[in-house]
Structure 1
Amino acid sequence: MSTVMLEKVLVVPTELFHELGHFQGFSPDVARYFEPLVSSDQISYRPRGDMEEDPSFKQLIPYCLFRYTTPSGEVQVFDYLRGGGVGEARLRAKRSVGVGGHISIEDAEAVNHSGDVYSEGMRRELEEEVSINTPYTESAVGMINDDETEVGKVHLGVVHVFDVGSPSVEPREDDLTEAGFRPVADILSELDRYESWSQIVMRALFG
């Protein structure tokens, strides 16, 4: 099994998510889910390879969008094509508007088990995947759950929007190809080319 599949990632019991209130698609009610999940004593770190096949757990994923508004008022979103590297195989060759990934046990060790593990994991994932060369503001705007796909059954997304001062976001990973800012209208017109989470969040925020 690959190193990626052996990596221990943060998970929460799917039952706990259901107790807080199951939904399909997008929920703007971050407060209802996020803090109870990340502060729960039911959080654990388990091998990613096992968790990708076990819908009794949800892997918690920061899903970060970069939004730029041009001087003329046109709203654009950073998007890219997933390459064929070591990431989630079931999402390869799909376009995406989300940057981010798993929170790992290494993130917990980096903050000595006493700090904000989620924020550390999100910071690390962003630093690995993109270079942000512009001022920005960030806010958590919603949650994504998609039990209609095999990938979605084992993941739960926290949607973060980064409003950037200029379109100066560049990919750092070779697997992020054809990357750049595109008008929201263009993305919405081609949503069938995008992974399901991107379709869900684009319809919820911009549709």
Structure 2
Amino acid sequence: MPPLNPREIEVSKDEEHVLVVPESVVNEIGYFEGFEADTAKYLGPILKSDQLSFQPRSKMETDPTFKQLIPYVLLEWTDEQGRLNLFAYTRGGGSGEKRLHAKRSVGIGGHISAEDAEGEGDTYETGMQRELAEEIQLDAEYTHTVEGLIYDPSNDVGKVHLGVVHRFVLTAPHVASNEADLAEGGFVAVDELKSQSESLETWSQLAVAALYS
């Protein structure tokens, strides 16, 4: 991925500031809804945009003219029988997005915060790895691909977020939840997830349908 260079702004330590891109930047590339597989078309220009900035999260949660960039990582493992499995969990009562509680999810990740830009590394990658380390224990080697973007304006959560779907193909099922917000975590066969699609949050429905049809 290209390195991130969000505009430097005065960031208050009293509130989390999250990475956002104006809606107009995305729409200039081409409006889409649902799952968009053309990552080269969208992700490069978005991450290179001089309009990226860190803004107060509370304000951004109700302002659809900005999209909060969210890494959304799917953890895939093939078992001894050759069945594809994804790490899935139920959103619990932790500190995550409360509007999604009680939904099943196959996506790990969260906001890119201003603190992620303080080091020398790539801001987006740093934020994604921080979120993974906070949410799960991952003790397996993996290969990593970026699969697409998700935008779902059908609900208040989706209107203000833009998901970047990553697929980690693991060599072993060595994953455990770290947070209360990731309850009942474990690997589930993709076929089972597809048959219970209505229990999944919308982003998970879109990702599973696009990648495992």
What amino acid maps onto 2:190 in structure 1? V
TM-superposed CA distance for 1:110, in Å, is 2.7
**Corresponding residue for 2:138?**
132
Amino acid in structure 1 at the alignment position of 2:172: S
Kindly provide the CA deviation profile for residues 154-173 of structure 1, in whole angstroms up to 9, marking residues without a partner as x.
00011000000011111111
Q: Alpha-carbon deviation of 1:65?
A: 0.3
Structure 2 counterpart SS, 1:35: helix
Alignment of 1:1-207 (within 5 A): 6-111=15-120, 115-207=121-213
Alignment-mate amino acid for residue 93 of structure 1: A
What residue ranges of structure 2 are gaps of 5+ in the alignment? 1-11
String of CA shifts for 1:124-177, please: whole Å, max 9, x gaps.
000111111111111101110111111111000110000000111111112211
**What's the TM-score, normalizing by structure 1?**
0.94
Task: Determine helix, strand or coil for the equivalent of 1:166.
Answer: coil
Q: Percent identity?
A: 51
The question of whether the paired residues in 1 share the 8 Å contact of 2:94 and 2:179 is answered with no
Distance 2:126 2:88 in 1: 23
Within 2, Cα distance between the matches of 1:182 and 1:85? 22
Three-state SS of the structure 2 residue aligned to 1:151 is: helix
| Counterpart Cα distance in 2 of 1:88 and 1:70 | 31
Q: Which runs of 5+ in 1 are unaligned?
A: none
Aligned residues: 202
| TM-score with structure 2 setting the length | 0.92
* In structure 1, C-alpha distance between the alignment counterparts of 2:34 and 2:153, rounded to whole Å: 8
